[in-house]
Structure 1
Amino acid sequence: MGDILFLAHRIPFPPDRGDKIRSHHLLKALAAMQPVHVACFGETDADMAAESELTEIAKSHCLVRRTKPLPLAGLEALGSGKPVSLTAFESAALRSWIGTCLAKHEIDTIFVFSGQMGQYVPADFAGRVVVDLCDVDSAKFEAYGIEGSWPRKVIDRREGKVLAREEERLAHRADETILISENEANLFRSRLIVPAGTSICAIRNGIDADLFDPRKVEPHSKLFTASGPQLVFTGQMDYPPNIVAAERVIHKILPAIRKHHPDAKFHIVGRAPVAKLLDHDGQDGIRVWGAVPDVKPFLAAADLVIAPLTIARGIQNKVLEAMAMARPVLLSPEAATGIDAQDSVHFAVADGDPMMIGRALTLIDERDEAAEMARAAREYVLARQSWPAMLAPLEAIMRRPEAKRDAA
C-alpha cells in the first residue's frame, strides 16, 4: 500500500459529535496502516483550534474554514443542478491542495468520508477509492420532504432526488462503499437503479467504553441532587431529527410523566439549541443546557436517557454512549436501528407516545429493573461495540487488491 488521502467534510477533532467520532476513529485506524494525508473543513473556533491534533496524525493536511452561507449554497445548487450538500462543501482552495497532494505523493487510496466529499475524487485517479457514506442521506431528505412544512419540504424533496443520483455515482466510482449498518447498507442497495458493478458493506459505529465508564465519571451535581426523576437527551440541537425528538418529549411525553412525578425534569444537552427549544428553558421541568464541556456527567446523573427519534439514519452514538455509561435507555424503533441489542434486556424500545410514556414510567418506578437493564447495557457495549472490534474489517477493505495479486 502507498499513502492514503483522507477526505472529510469536518475535521475529525475534537471527536465531540456523531460524524466526527466516526471519522476520528477511522482516521486513527488508517494512520496505523499507512501514512495519511488529510483534507477537511472546519466550521467552529474549536474545529480550527484542533489543527494541532491533525498535524500530529497526518503526514500532510489542509484544513479550510467553511464559511459559505447556506442560502448561497442553495442558489449555486439550483444553478448547477447539484445537491446543496455538495455546493455547501465546494472549495477551490481544498480542490487545489488535493491536486497538489496527488501530484506530490504516492497516493494509493483515496478514502472519502461522507458523500459531500466525493466531488473531490479526480476522474483520472487510477488508485483505489473507498467511500464511507455513513447514512443514506437522500432517504433522510426524502423523509423531510414528506413530513416537513412548505416551502422547506419542496427544497428537501429536490435534495433527496439529486442527492440519490450523486450517491449512486459514488457507489459506481468506488471500489468499496461503506454504510454504518447492515440495515442502512440494504436500504442503499435497494435504492440503486443499477446495482451491478457496486460493492457495498457495513462497518458499524463503536464506542470508547473506557472513556464512557461510569466508574470514572462524577455525576452532574445539579441533576444528582435534584428531586424527582431526571430525563436526559443529548445531541446536536440544531439538527432537525433531534429537534423533533426533543419537542416530542416536551409536548407529549414529559407532561404525562409529570402527572405521576411532578418533580420530573427533562434535560436537553447539546450545542446550538434552536430558539423554539430555548423558549422552553426553565418552564415545566425543562432545562436546555446548550453546549457543555462534557456530556458524561449528565448521563451519569440521569435516571433515564431518552431517544424518541422519528427520523434516524445509521447507528445513534447517543444511544451507545448512554448504554456504555450503564444508564437505562428508552428509545424509538428508529433510534434502535442498527444496534443488535435486545429489547427489555439491554434497552427499552417503545413505538408511539402512549407506549413511550408507559415504559418511561415503568423504568422510573421499577428501580431494580432499570438498574439491571443498565448493567446489561454496559456489558453489551463492552462485548459487542468496541471501536477495535467494529473497525476490524477495515484493513481487508483497504488491502484487498494486494491480497488478490498475492493469490494470483
Structure 2
Amino acid sequence: MSGEILFLAHRIPFPADRGDKIRSSRILAALGALAPVHVGTFAENAVDLASKRELAAHSASHCLVRRSKSLALAGLEALGSGHPVSIPAFASARLHRWVAKTLRERPISAIFVFSSQMAQYIPHDFPGRVVMDFVDVDSAKFEEYALTARQPLRTLYRREARLLAKWERDVHRRASVSLLVTVEEAALFSRRLDLAQVRDAKVAVMGNGIDADSFDPANVGSAQIIGADEGPHIVFVGQMDYPPNVSAAVRFATRILPLIAADMRGARFHVVGRAPTAAVRALDGRDGCTVHGEVADVRPWLAAADLVIAPLIIARGIQNKVLEAMAMARPVLVSPQAATGIAGCDGIHFAIADSDDEFATRAIALLRSPEERTRIGQAARDFVIAHHGWTEALAQLPRLVGIASSEARDAA
C-alpha cells in the first residue's frame, strides 16, 4: 500500500440527495476502494447527524462537526481576518485538532479536499499529495450574484468574490492538482490565475456522473402524483434555497409560464425541492404554479413531467438535475448556462432556449408534440448512459491520489 487518505468535505456526503453530496459520496466510495479513508466533515442539521452511521461505514475513522456558526458571526470574523466569509464559516478548532491527530497517528499519503473552504485544514508542511476539488469557481459565482444584487448585498458579494479569488489562487499553489467539474470551469479557473499559472498542468477536469440504473423510468412507479389537472405539467427540481434555483423558479413562474398559459391554458408548473425560500413559497397557487417543497424521491416527479425545465441564469459547473432528468428519458428545456458541461446537442438530447420568449416558444412546441418529447427523452437517456457514468468520471482517481490500481486494497 502507498498509504491512507484524508478526505475533507464541507458537508457530510450523506444522504446523497443534492448535487455536491452526490459527487462527494461517489468520490469517497471510490477512494475507499483504494485505501483506508479518514473523513473530516460538517453536519448542518438533524438529517446530516442521523447519517453518521453511514459515514462510519464508508470511513476508517471520521470527525463529524455540527456547523452552527451563523453567517453574521462568520461575517464579523471575516472582516477582522481579511478572509472571505466562507473560511470562518467552516472553521472548527475541533476539526483542526482531529486533522493534526490523524496526520500524526496514521500513514496519510494523500489529502483529498472537497470544496475550497476546507483547504484551511491542510498543514503547510504536509509532504504528501494534495488533491483540491474546487468543483466549480465559487468566486465567479459571487461576481455574478453582485451584478443583480441590491445594496448592501452587492458590496458584500463583491468582497466575497475578490477574496475568494485570491483564496482560490493561494490554494491552487498549495495543491498537487486542482480539479474542476467541466472543461469550461477549468478554462475559467485557469484564466483567473496569476499570469505565471495560466495553462498550469496542475488544473484538471473530473466530471460528474449519474446512476442510470437508479434513474431509470422502467424502475419508477407510474402512479400519478402531480394531480388530477389535465396539464401539460412542467417540472423544476432543485435545492430551493440555492439562489440560482430561486431566481430560475421565479423567472419561469412570473415571466415564462404566463406566455405558455396564454397558448395552453391548462399548463401547470411544479417546483420540487427542499427548503423553498419565501420568494419561492410565494409562487404557490399563482397562475398554475404549485410549490411542493421537499419530497421523498424526485424520480416519480420527473417521470410524471411532460417537460422538465432548467431556466438558470447563473449556473456553475454541471447540473445534476439536468442529467437526472435526461437519465429518466424526459425532454429537458434548459438555458445555455444550464447546458454547460453536457456535450449533448440542442434539438437531439435536450432543447436550449435563452430569452423568455424563446423559452416559451420552445416549451409550447415540445408540449404540443408527444412524439418529439419521446424522441428527445430516449436520446437523452442513451446519451447519459454512454457519456456520464460514474466509473468513467472517476477513473483518474487512483493516479490523482498516487495509488496505482494494482495497489488498491480489496474493495470487499
Aligned length: 403
**How many angstroms apart in 1 are the aligned matches of 2:275 and 2:135?**
23
Q: Is the 8 A contact 1:206 1:386 kept in 2?
A: yes
User: Cα deviation per residue 1:84-120 (whole Å; 9 max; x = unaligned)?
Assistant: 1111101111111111111110000000000010000
Name stretches of at least 5 consecutive residues in structure 1 with no aligned partner. Answer: 404-408
Residue 273, structure 1, aligned to residue 290, structure 2: no
**How many angstroms apart in 2 are the aligned matches of 1:396 and 1:355?**
45
**How many angstroms apart in 1 are the aligned matches of 2:405 and 2:124?**
22
- Residue 368 of structure 2 corresponds to which residue in structure 1? 365
**How many angstroms apart in 2 are the aligned matches of 1:268 and 1:400?**
43
Q: Is the 8 A contact 2:250 2:283 kept in 1?
A: no
How far residue 219 of structure 1 moved from its aligned partner, in angstroms, is: 3.8
Q: Is the 8 A contact 2:273 2:292 kept in 1?
A: yes
Which deviates the most, 384-393 or 196-205?
A: 196-205
One-letter amino acid of the structure 1 residue matched with residue 321 of structure 2: K
- Residue 282 of structure 1 corresponds to which residue in structure 2? 285
Residue 384, structure 1, aligned to residue 384, structure 2: no
How far residue 222 of structure 1 moved from its aligned partner, in angstroms, is: 3.1
**Sequence identity percentage:** 53
Picking from 180, 195, 198, the partner of 2:197 is 195
**How many angstroms apart in 2 are the aligned matches of 1:345 and 1:75?**
50
How far residue 311 of structure 1 moved from its aligned partner, in angstroms, is: 0.5
**How many angstroms apart in 1 are the aligned matches of 2:286 and 2:183?**
41
Q: Is the 8 A contact 1:131 1:178 kept in 2?
A: yes
**How many angstroms apart in 2 are the aligned matches of 1:191 and 1:224?**
48
- Residue 409 of structure 2 corresponds to which residue in structure 1? none
Name stretches of at least 5 consecutive residues in structure 2 with no aligned partner. Answer: 407-412
- Residue 103 of structure 2 corresponds to which residue in structure 1? 102
**How many angstroms apart in 2 are the aligned matches of 1:323 and 1:78?**
43
User: Cα deviation per residue 1:229-267 (whole Å; 9 max; x = unaligned)?
Assistant: 111111111111001100110111111111111121111
**How many angstroms apart in 2 are the aligned matches of 1:382 and 1:143?**
33
- Residue 406 of structure 1 corresponds to which residue in structure 2? none
Picking from 300, 314, 317, the partner of 1:314 is 317
**How many angstroms apart in 1 are the aligned matches of 2:373 and 2:225?**
21
How far residue 34 of structure 1 moved from its aligned partner, in angstroms, is: 0.6
CA RMSD of superposed structures (Å): 1.4
**How many angstroms apart in 2 are the aligned matches of 1:168 and 1:198?**
14
One-letter amino acid of the structure 1 residue matched with residue 136 of structure 2: D
Name the CA shift for 1:352/1:220 in 2 (closer, same or farther; >3 Å).
farther
- Residue 171 of structure 2 corresponds to which residue in structure 1? 170
Q: Is the 8 A contact 2:133 2:180 kept in 1?
A: yes
- Give the SS at the match of 1:171: helix
- Residue 88 of structure 2 corresponds to which residue in structure 1? 87
Which of the pair has the greater relative contact order for Cα pairs under 8 Å at 6+ separation?
2
How far residue 223 of structure 1 moved from its aligned partner, in angstroms, is: 1.7
Q: Is the 8 A contact 2:34 2:403 kept in 1?
A: no
- Residue 78 of structure 2 corresponds to which residue in structure 1? 77
How far residue 396 of structure 1 moved from its aligned partner, in angstroms, is: 1.8
Matches within 5 A, 1:208-223: 208-219=211-222, 221-223=224-226
Deviating runs (4+, > 4 A) in structure 1? 400-403
Residue 243, structure 1, aligned to residue 249, structure 2: no
Output the TM-score relative to the length of structure 1: 0.97
